[in-house]
Amino acid sequence: MKVVFPGLLLLLLSMPLQAALPVAVDGIKVPSLAPMLERTTPAVVNIATRGKARRRVELPLPRDPLFRRFFEVPNIERVQETASLGSGVIVDADNGLILTNYHVIKDAYEINVTLTDGRELRAEIIGRDPDTDIAVIQVVDENLTQVPMADSSELRVGDFVVAIGNPFGLGQTVTSGIVSALGRSGLGVESIEDFIQTDASINLGNSGGALVNLRGELVGINTAIYGAGNTGNIGIGFAIPINMARDIMVQLIDYGEVKRGRLGAQGQDLTAQLAQAFGINRSNGFIVTQIESGSPADKAGIKVGDVIVAANDKAIRSARDMHNLVGLQRLGQTIELVLFRNGDEVALPVLIQPIEINKLGGGVIHPKLAGATIGEMREQHLQRGRVDYLEVMKVERGSNADASGFRVGDIIFSINKQLTRTFDEVFALVETNGKGMIMNIQRGNRELYILLK
């Protein structure tokens, strides 16, 4: 049985058969985003890529490392063709510069950009930064449209925003919402996180697209969605603030990479129990547990046991906050720290200086590592849970290291079941075990073993 309310029935009967919203009410035009979008959408492009990526081939054998070592089971990788769809934003029409996400053009050897008027252009990579998921590509053509950049530091929770992109490859799509939160981090999406959270629908393919305010100014680069499997929008999307993206873009254009500084202070999160032990009336912060000799932290006078609670007028609640803040500073900038020492509040300026990395050719360690460049890494990748480790920084194609299965970004976790974090530890193990060794490698979120003999 259906129930029809009398008032609703009268309303329905009084409506014309082809009802439409009026263009004006009492002579006043109904608000519309159309004029702003007509100016802005030509600057948002669709990006399609073709690439090659190495994929590990899983053999139908036990995964037990001892089994694989005994039978010398090889680590086999296969080069596979990849394709991706995403979005980008033209920010410099004269020079054809487009901001997008690193993951949109990762592994790409061919990048095609489609404009709203149907033009298809080939793009080249200018620079990319995996830590912030920002990349800059360039096209060559005339009559391009750019979107002006806003000051994302002026954003407030509740501000209206519009997301423009290419979800699911459907073509350019516009969604609207508000700023739900600012300064989101700890999501595990990127190494350095400082996201704008919005409820404007962001779906697969929106990555690299524009988040604009009602004036049509770029406030962020859409980058991630939150949900089971990241398959669709549930009202929680994230964008990289344009101030952060702009700073990264400048360095990518100038140097082709981001030159980051370091602090040289290692530590852990402050808990309520530790705060009580330290005599501090706070429940969060960053406790310094180790200072690297000669580092910026050492020169500034930071000491073990100091509890850093703020930097550049921004609260520091955890080690991740500290990592994010340092990672976003340019070389030569000064961080104004506020910390507690023996119960007293102390203000200290720290000058951010370059990361000095000790590097060695892999052939010095083992003939099968020839062609690889290995570096002693510190602090830059705190999110991986390691402060000091050896990372493969370069692998020459066709070299012994390439044939042995080493890839850029591999972390040498151990040799013959002995943890290795420095070159001295490696050479001590080589001297003890000779040239026969099994290396435990951390690659992304998984581990594998490579046998060298």
Q: Looking at the domain assignment, is residue 189 inside a domain?
A: yes
Cα distance between residue 141 and residue 144, in whole Å: 7
| Least confident stretch, 133-137, 233-237, 242-246 | 233-237
pLDDT one-digit tens code per residue, 182-214: 877 766 666 677 888 998 888 777 888 999 999
> Strand pairing partners for 378?
388
Same domain, 232 and 284: no
Q: Looking at the domain assignment, is residue 103 inside a domain?
A: yes
Same domain, 278 and 209: no
Examine the residue annotation and report whether 366 is marked as an active-site residue of this protein: no
Of 301, 402, 451, 397, give the one whose Cα is nearest residue 77.
402
Q: Strands 76-92 and 388-395, how do they pair? A: unpaired
Split into its structural domains, the chain has a count of 4
Q: What confidence score (pLDDT) does residue 72 get? A: 53
Same domain, 200 and 287: no
Same domain, 335 and 372: no
pTM of the model: 0.65
CB–CB of 296/326 below 8 Å?
Answer: no
Same domain, 156 and 231: yes
Catalytic residue among 84, 180, 191, 207: 207
What residue type is 300 in one-letter code?
Answer: A
Examine the residue annotation and report whether 103 is marked as an active-site residue of this protein: yes
Same domain, 326 and 399: no
Same domain, 364 and 422: yes
Give the whole-number percent of the chain exceeding pLDDT 70.
Answer: 77
Q: What confidence score (pLDDT) does residue 14 get? A: 42
Q: Looking at the domain assignment, is residue 6 inside a domain?
A: no
pLDDT one-digit tens code per residue, 292-333: 777 888 888 999 888 898 888 888 888 878 887 787 777 788
> Strand pairing partners for 390?
376, 412
Q: Looking at the domain assignment, is residue 38 inside a domain?
A: no
Confidence category of residue 148, pLDDT binned at 50, 70, 90: very high
Of 428, 427, 429, give the one whose Cα is nearest residue 437.
429
Q: Which residue has the tokens 């890494």?
A: 377
Same domain, 128 and 187: no
Q: Which helix (H) or strand (E) holds 425?
A: helix 423-433
Alpha helix stretches (DSSP H) within 269-383:
272-278, 296-300, 319-327
Mean pLDDT of the chain: 79
Last residue of a domain, one of 255, 283, 312: 255
Cα distance between residue 94 and residue 181, in whole Å: 34
* C-alpha dist (Å) from residue 386 to 60, 170, 421: 32, 41, 9
Range of the domain at 63: 43-138
Same domain, 112 and 203: no
Numbers of helices and strands, H then E, in the chain: 10, 29
Buried b (16+ CB within 10 A) or exposed e, 359-379: ebebeebbebbbbbbbbbbbb
Give the DSSP per-residue string, 64-79.
-HHHHHHTT---EEEE
pLDDT one-digit tens code per residue, 241-283: 999 899 899 988 888 878 777 788 888 888 888 888 777 787 7
Q: What confidence score (pLDDT) does residue 216 get? A: 92
Examine the residue annotation and report whether 323 is marked as an active-site residue of this protein: no
CATH number at residue 291: 2.30.42.10
Give the other-Cβ count within 10 Å of 138's Cβ. Answer: 18
CB–CB of 446/430 below 8 Å?
Answer: no
Q: Looking at the domain assignment, is residue 178 inside a domain?
A: yes
Cα distance between residue 305 and residue 253, in whole Å: 40
Cα distance between residue 209 and residue 90, in whole Å: 10
Cα distance between residue 155 and residue 367, in whole Å: 55
Q: What confidence score (pLDDT) does residue 94 get? A: 93
Q: Could you tell me where the beta strands, DSSP code E, fall in 131-217?
A: 134-138, 160-165, 173-184, 195-198, 210-212
| Residue with the larger pLDDT of the pair 5 and 95 | 95
Please determine, for residue 445, whether its predicted confidence score (pLDDT) is greater than 90: no
Q: Looking at the domain assignment, is residue 249 inside a domain?
A: yes
Q: Which residue has the tokens 């149907």?
A: 118
Same domain, 246 and 327: no
Same domain, 48 and 132: yes
CATH number at residue 195: 2.40.10.10
- What average pLDDT does this structure show over 154-163? 92
Of 195, 171, 147, give the one whose Cα is nearest residue 87.
171
Last residue of a domain, one of 109, 138, 167: 138
Range of 145-159, 164-178, 322-336 with top mean pLDDT: 145-159
Confidence category of residue 42, pLDDT binned at 50, 70, 90: very high
Q: Looking at the domain assignment, is residue 12 inside a domain?
A: no
Q: Looking at the domain assignment, is residue 5 inside a domain?
A: no
Q: What confidence score (pLDDT) does residue 356 get? A: 65
Q: Which residue has the tokens 């991986």?
A: 384
- What average pLDDT does this structure show over 53-78? 53
Catalytic residue among 103, 323, 366, 381: 103
CATH number at residue 119: 2.40.10.120
Q: What confidence score (pLDDT) does residue 232 get? A: 56
Catalytic residue among 84, 87, 131, 133: 133
Q: What confidence score (pLDDT) does residue 60 get? A: 53
Please determine, for residue 373, whether its predicted confidence score (pLDDT) is greater than 80: yes
pLDDT one-digit tens code per residue, 401-413: 888 888 877 888 8
Alpha helix stretches (DSSP H) within 158-270:
242-255
Q: What confidence score (pLDDT) does residue 158 get? A: 92
Same domain, 322 and 378: no
Last residue of a domain, one of 354, 375, 395: 354
